[in-house]
Amino acid sequence: MRFSEVIGLQEVKDRLVSAVKEDRVSHAQLFSGHKGSHGLALALAYASFLMCENRTHDDSCGVCPACVKNDKLVHPDLHFSFPAVTTPEVKEKPRSMNFIEKWRGAVLDNPYLGLDDWYDHLGVGNKQGFMSVEEANDIMRKMSLKTFESPFKILIMWMPEKMRVDAANKLLKTLEEPPPGSVFVLVAEDGNALLSTIRSRTQLVRIPVPDPGLLAEYLIQSYKIDSEKAKRIVRIVDGQVAPAISMARIGSEEMGTPMEHEFIHWMRLCYMPFYAKDGTYAWNDLNDWIDETNKKGKEHIKRFLAFCSDASRECMLLSVGAGNLVRFDDSVIPGFGKFSRFIHSGNVEAIMELLGKASYGVERNANPRILLLDLSFKLNVLLNPRSS
């Protein structure tokens, strides 16, 4: 990957390039972004620039042997560390080396991937990845090796927020006194979530939200979508590159992510009366939805509830006529504008509190089926004030 292929971030690129040219490369850097940010793509371009045998004044050449290997993520001096999970094949002590082939596949397919994309790629829906002491030992071993071909050996650590405390403690000394030629690039979505002991040993490189115009232009060029669609995507994602790319790639006319449609669908189910006129229960559709959602696993439910909280706030803003502040409207999710009448300043706080509590319940291993059913009943009351 070359700097020219990374969306925006010109100032950051310039700073990195100057540091390399002036021979003051920091041995441990923290690329700190935001959810869905594109720090990984920048880290890959930076690694290529550091290792390139024939740099131009501001980019790697893209054709020398080092660049070719880096483009395939197989340069022997380029290492990766990322959250790993247990799977049927890796039953215990999962670490990056167990998943390196899958990692290469995922990153080559989409260097802008987000954490959700990675878990989807691994097919581990309801599990949270982490970096363990064994991972820290692997890192120390790799970084103590002599370089093979490049003056640098580079470790790109993606999502260091997922590092366990014991693993982090193990790495402190290596980060402080790294073996010669080492460059650690930590790529975080939320640098503040990192242990302060790690943060204080790195040089901070902030990854700003990309300019909306540049992001739209990138989507138009790379995915051949029209400018209206690109603009709508950019509005929805609120600066997150990973979901913008996912949406542009789907290439469907249907706008919005599945989660946005799921939100409208669920809210409709919650709004409808739970009893039919003949006195029987009329909530089979809700029951089906709960079953389907439960199958997607705990992590999905947590993400979905967090999304619902955001979307509820947007509904409330629409209901008070603050349409210029919202990301979703009818052009993005058909029916959203109409639905927003039901979530307003009178109930939004209670709804968000319920969603927050439910998410906490899922985290604490409450039964998701019971929890979603209970939540749906409570939402039914809040959405139909006269029925309470």
Binding site for Zn ion (CB under 5 A): 52, 60-61, 64, 67
DSSP bridge pairs for 205: 31
Closest approach of Cβ 179 to Zn ion, in Å?
24
Closest approach of Cβ 108 to Zn ion, in Å?
18
**Residue 320 structure tokens:** 């008070």
For Zn ion, the closer of residues 52 and 379 by Cβ is 52
For Zn ion, the closer of residues 70 and 319 by Cβ is 70
CA 198 and chain centroid, separation: 21
Q: What one-letter code names the amino acid at 274?
A: F
For Zn ion, the closer of residues 37 and 60 by Cβ is 60
Q: What one-letter code names the amino acid at 81?
A: S
Q: What one-letter code names the amino acid at 345?
A: S
CB-based contact 237:243 (threshold 8 Å): yes
Closest approach of Cβ 3 to Zn ion, in Å?
12
For Zn ion, the closer of residues 60 and 110 by Cβ is 60
Q: In what order do the strands lie in the sheet with 153-158?
A: 78-81, 153-158, 182-188, 28-32, 203-206
**Residue 25 structure tokens:** 């490369």
Q: What one-letter code names the amino acid at 102?
A: K
Closest approach of Cβ 48 to Zn ion, in Å?
7
- What one-character DSSP code corresponds to residue 278? T
Cβ neighbours for 139, distance < 8 A, ≥ 6 positions apart:
79, 81, 155, 157, 171, 174
For Zn ion, the closer of residues 3 and 283 by Cβ is 3
For Zn ion, the closer of residues 47 and 106 by Cβ is 47
Torsion angle defined by CA atoms of residues 21, 23, 28 and 31, in that order, rounded to the nearest 10 degrees: -20
Closest approach of Cβ 155 to Zn ion, in Å?
20
For Zn ion, the closer of residues 60 and 312 by Cβ is 60
**Residue 195 structure tokens:** 């242990």
**CA 277/CA 255 separation, integer angstroms:** 36
Closest approach of Cβ 67 to Zn ion, in Å?
3
Closest approach of Cβ 59 to Zn ion, in Å?
9
CB-based contact 241:7 (threshold 8 Å): yes
